[in-house]
Amino acid sequence: MPSGLVYVSAHFGTPPLTVNLALDTLFPFTWVQTVGCHRNCFNLSYPYSNFDPRKSTTFQLLRPNNTTFCFPPISHPSRNGSSCVYDGRYSRGIFGIDEFQLLSPHSSSSSTNRIVFGCDLDSNMDFNGGWDFNPIGGMIGLGKGHPSSIVSQLGSDRFSYCLPSLSQSLSGQPTLNFGSDAFIDSSATNVQTTPISSRSSAGPPEEFYNYLNMTGITLNGEVVYMMPETSSLAKLVLLDTGEPDTWLVEDAIFSLQDGVVRYFAETYGWKAPKIEPIPRTYVCCYDLPTNLSGIIFPKIAIQFVGGASLELHNAFEIFPDQHEFCMVIREGAPNTVGVYQQMGDRFWFDLAQSKLSFSPNMC
């Protein structure tokens, strides 16, 4: 996971080409970088390669008269009228149709389906993340609000995914399941459930998002931030597998930082975090103590409508080269729970019932 993203494997075309797809829980588009990409193209490491429609005997272009998929503002007919052009979150290109099979482990529903997907010709994505190795060739979109959503195309109103913990991430891919395979085992403990809300009046891209409603933030079970009654946008939270880090709006992050500083002061007698020039990636950092094994990091959790509580895993990270550790939660809007803080939980989206359930240690 060099880029901080997580991915599943799939087959495209005939004969099948294996493509690793990064999970995108915000937008509905599934796309693969295609031979002919001419702008902002990323490199794929051997043995992976770009999808070549000319080599697939089952590939077809989506015709512009297909009004189910080809309509503004997401897509529109090309200038010569021969294809359907799309403009997605990270990708621009043309829509194609071909055989698709999800290869996610532990899934019994990974049958072959014909789906509409994006043939990427202009990518706005760097999967390498500064590393020399990149196995990711596209993204699988789990958002809603557009017929190209893989959830809709597979005829399902449920999906679930689980991101392995940091200790497991080197040995296993995340799981992704749809339909009857998407569930949380009845033997699971500490299952939490909260409603999914939407901003139906919003335009793209917000209309694609599955929003959750935050009521507060706790530190070791103690409330350090309570959502004001008058707040609207600030209470919305997204689970984003396309973003490594977690972000909180200004009032929330400042209240959380105050709680963290108070915790370390009361528990270990530390006066205040390091004062460093701005900008820097993380602002709540401390010098590494001599006996790091004796330090217990506090547990941070977001509280949601209905009483659900989501612990933000891996909220503190050690940086040996800088001889410091930091709280790796950043200021920004909207509130977004990133990949590292989702690791170790299974998330089950039931779109028919507009609810999200999650439980730890279900990978």
Contact 284, 261 (CB under 8 A): yes
Q: Can you tell me the mean pLDDT for 239-264?
A: 94
In the prediction, which pLDDT does 342 show? 95
Q: How far apart are the first and last CA of the chain?
A: 17
The radius of gyration computed from the CA coordinates of the chain, to the nearest angstrom, equals 21
Quote the pLDDT of residue 112. 83
Distances (CA, A) of 351 to 123, 142, 175, 356, 362: 29, 11, 19, 8, 20
Higher-confidence residue: 131 or 243? Answer: 243
Question: For 182-186, 203-207, 254-258, 261-265, which range has the lowest pLDDT when averaged over its residues?
Answer: 203-207
Asked whether the bond before 273 is cis by omega within 30 degrees of 0, the reply is no
* Rounded alpha-carbon distances, angstroms, from residue 307 to 223, 244, 301, 304: 13, 26, 12, 6
Helix runs in 92-181, H state only: 150-153
Domains of the chain (ranges, CATH numbers): 7-181 (2.40.70.10), 192-360 (2.40.70.10)
pLDDT band at 267 (very low <50, low <70, confident <90, very high): very high
How are beta strands 329-331 and 324-327 bridged, if at all?
Answer: unpaired
Q: What is the mean pLDDT of residues 4-8?
A: 83
Residue 3 has pLDDT above 60, yes or no: no
Predicted confidence (pLDDT) per residue in 309-359, tens digit: 999 999 999 999 889 999 999 999 899 999 999 999 999 999 999 999 999
pLDDT on residue 130: 61
**Average pLDDT score, the chain:** 88
The whole-number pLDDT of residue 171 equals 45
Q: What DSSP state is assigned to residue 278? A: S
In which band, very low, low, confident or very high, does the pLDDT at 174 lie, cut at 50, 70 and 90? confident
Could you tell me the CA-to-CA distances from 309 to 303, 357, 361, 362 in Å, in that order?
A: 5, 11, 15, 16
pLDDT band at 258 (very low <50, low <70, confident <90, very high): very high
The answer to whether residue 79 scores a pLDDT higher than 70 is yes
List of residues 6+ apart from 304 with CB closer than 8 A: 192, 194, 212, 213, 214, 215, 237, 310
Helix, strand or coil, per DSSP, at residue 293: helix
Q: Given the DSSP bridges, would you call strands 246-248 and 329-331 parallel, antiparallel or unpaired?
A: parallel
- Is pLDDT of 2 > 50? no
The pLDDT tens digits for 269-298 are 998 898 776 567 888 999 998 888 889 999
- Is the CB of residue 328 less than 8 Å from the CB of residue 184? no
Backbone angle region of 344, left / alpha / beta, with phi > 0 → left and psi within -120 to 50 → alpha: left
Rounded to an integer, the average pLDDT of 48-71 is: 94
- 361 conformational bin, left if phi > 0, alpha if psi -120 to 50, beta if neither: left
pLDDT-based confidence at residue 305 (cuts at 50, 70, 90)? very high
Please report the pLDDT score of residue 313 as a whole number. Answer: 95
Task: Work out the number of other CB atoms within 10 angstroms of the CB of residue 311.
Answer: 17
Helix (H, G, I), strand (E, B) or coil at 216: strand
**Which pLDDT band holds residue 92 (cuts at 50, 70, 90)?**
very high
Q: Note the pLDDT of residue 170.
A: 47
Question: Which residue shows structure tokens 């699988």?
Answer: 140
Distance CA 80, CA 346 (A): 46
